[in-house]
Amino acid sequence: MRLDNSFEAPAPPEQVWALLNDVPRVVPCMPGAELVGQVDETTWKANVKVKLGPIAMTFAADVRQEEADATAHRMRLVADAREARGRGMAKANIETTVNPSGSGSTVDIATDLDLSGAVAQYGRGIVKDVAGQLTKQFADNLRAQLADSPSGAADEALPPPAAKPVSGLRLLLRALLGRFRRKEG
């Protein structure tokens, strides 16, 4: 399924681009994500923790940077994730582009997502709504990182935030509420 999301960042494209390429700082911006290792300059290992009510899942993900165009501020990542207990898998091709917008930047994220196993049981609309909520939280965390380091450069004094499991139930409820509001309007 195709997921398209975007958000505004209060910094010039060069600064946002620099932060998006600082993997140790940007991975913890994604709710529930934790960087666990670097294989080489373009490949990383991460864990993503998701809690759906009483059910907690941990996904081990291999992330590869397939393309990075610093001039166009565009990158393409491929992520392969599998749930630790074998309850599902996900494969994502993620293209991120940073463009100037007013006094800041617009970050566009286009994701081709393929889910299998238990995680695939959620409807397409719910997955899109939850992805929108995750993108909003990611954007908020990214903005906080930009505010903490106005130059956009890696700052050794600022450790990345600790990963907390993303509450899938809360995200699911927000997504359902959003769908309900759109149907009323």
- Per DSSP, what are the bridge partners of residue 100? 105
Return the H-helix or E-strand segment holding 99: strand 88-101
Torsion of CA 167, 185, 135, 159, to 10 degrees: -70
Which residues of the chain carry a pLDDT beneath 70? 52-55, 122-124, 150-185
CA 60 to chain centre: 15
Nearest alpha carbon to residue 91 among 120, 68, 69:
120
29-34 long-range contacts, CB within 8 A, separation 24+: 29/138, 29/141, 29/142, 29/145, 29/161, 30/134, 30/138, 30/141, 31/134, 31/137, 31/138, 31/141, 31/164, 31/166, 32/163, 32/164, 32/165, 32/166, 33/163, 34/163
Cα 87–44–140 angle (5° rounding)? 80
Q: What does the pLDDT read at residue 184?
A: 59
Query: What's the sign of the alpha-carbon dihedral 144, 160, 21, 27?
Result: negative
Fold for domain 2-184? Alpha-D-Glucose-1,6-Bisphosphate; Chain A, domain 4 (3.30.530)
Give residues with Cβ within 8 angstroms of 121, minimum separation 6.
none
CA distance 143 to 129: 21
pTM, 2 dp:
0.77
Per-residue pLDDT, 156 = 42
DSSP 3: E
pLDDT of residue 18: 95
The predicted pLDDT at position 115 comes to: 87
Which sequence spans correspond to the domains of the chain?
2-184
